[in-house]
Amino acid sequence: MSDFKIIKTHIRHIMGCGLLIYFFAVACFYFSAIMPIKKQLGFMEQKTTGLEQTVEQLKSEYAKKWEQEKEEILEIIDLFQQKEYEKDAILSKFFQISRDFGVNVEKTEPLEEEDFGDTIAKYSWKISCYADYPALGAFFNEIERSPLFLCIESPTILSEAERLTKKHKADFLLSTYKLKIKK
């Protein structure tokens, strides 16, 4: 029996060593594989938190920008719908722009209002004016940027008008559109 006890003791030692080696291997695996992953997860959580804060900041900036854009759009819609009473205001704005850019207006001739279906109408004036090229270019640009939805149609520029002063005659249609308001 003493040999059996010795073998049994050796088996217990081998099993104990095996268990120690197993726990050591598990600990090594934990520290070599799982710990870096935990650190990576912590880093990813920090990044995620930072991204969430950035998204919230962008949302608030977008909301502010949207409110500004919405106000501008509503103002433009109001201008577009109120044009029924603004033919004089349109011509007044046109003459103001012409004065600002040194363009001399020879004549303005109103044309008949055109209907485009049930919702849109077009006002137009036949315009003749003269100025130098830079003034005409800036003048046309300012007209087209007007919040009154003004546009230049069918422009013709004649270079022979007042050649000595380097002024050029421009003929064009000044048009604007409005929404018809159903009553």
Domain boundaries, the chain: 1-85, 86-179
Per-residue pLDDT in tens (0 to 9) along the chain, 183 residues: 577 778 878 788 888 888 888 888 877 777 777 667 777 777 888 888 888 888 888 888 888 888 888 887 777 666 655 554 567 778 888 889 999 999 999 998 988 888 887 778 888 899 999 898 889 989 999 988 887 777 888 888 887 655 566 788 899 988 887 777 655
Q: How far apart, in whole angstroms, are the C-alpha atoms of residue 146 and residue 97?
A: 10
Look up the pTM and report it: 0.50
Burial class (CB in 10 A: 0-12, 13-18, 19+), 10: exposed
CB 177 within 8 A of CB 122: yes
CATH dotted code for 86-179: 3.30.70.60
